[in-house]
Structure formats: C-alpha cells, structure tokens
Amino acid sequence: MDKNLSLTIEKLIKHYPIILFIKGDKYSPKCNFSKQAVDVLNTFNIDYHTIDVLNDNHIRNAIKIYSQWPTIPQLYINQEFIGGIDIILHLYKTFELHEILEVHINS
C-alpha cells in the first residue's frame, strides 16, 4: 500500500473518534450494508464521521489493506478497528456496541 495513503487513513482515524468507512455518506448510504451500519449508529445519540469510499478508489482499496478486512463498511472507535457490518450487527444485538460506545463517551 502507498505510504501516503496509509498516513492519510491513519490521520483520519486519529482525527475522528468514531469513523465509518462506507459507500455513500451517513445522509445517503449507497448500499444496503452501509445503510445498516448507519442505521445502527443512528440509534445512539453520538457524533460520528463517514468517509465515502466511492469518491476515491485508492482509499476504498487502501482501507481494506490497512484494516486487513476485505469488505466495506468498516467502523473505527477511538482508533480501534471494530469490524464490518456482520460484527457491527452482532455487537449491536448483544449490546456490546452499547458498552464500547459508553466507554468512548465517558473517556
């Protein structure tokens, strides 16, 4: 992976406490999995940032290498990779995502 792309992704993850790499944005997700991730995060009263990977194929490919995760969406909280939609949904349904976000909010 290009070192500049890696640094760009790292800066984004460090800058935004909660960042979601998706197809589209939080106001207009462009695929069902991205919509599901946005819907989950919108159930919480939190501020989060989205990166539209459709706007930049370099970022789209680089985030998969950076995280070592093959699919989009990808969620990071406090610079920690949480996972893709299957993990996001599992954590939400088991209330573990609530706990992760509660720790984030209280830190």
Statement: residue 90 has pLDDT above 80: yes
**Residues 93, 99, 105, 107, CA torsion sign:** negative
Statement: residue 64 has pLDDT above 90: yes
Statement: residue 33 has pLDDT above 90: yes
**Amino acid (one-letter) located at 78:** N
Residue 79: phi and psi, rounded to 5, are 70, 10
Question: pTM of the prediction?
Answer: 0.95
What does the alpha-carbon distance between residue 29 and residue 34 come to, in Å, rounded to a whole number? 6
Mean pLDDT, range 6-19, rounded to an integer:
96
DSSP H or E segment with residue 48: none
Mean pLDDT, range 45-70, rounded to an integer:
95
The mean predicted confidence, pLDDT, of the chain is 95
Confidence band, pLDDT 50/70/90 cuts, at residue 2: confident
Statement: residue 93 has pLDDT above 70: yes
Statement: residue 107 has pLDDT above 80: no
What does the alpha-carbon distance between residue 17 and residue 93 come to, in Å, rounded to a whole number? 22
| Assigned CATH class of 3-106 | alpha beta
**Contact criterion met (CB below 8 Å) for 17 and 78:** yes
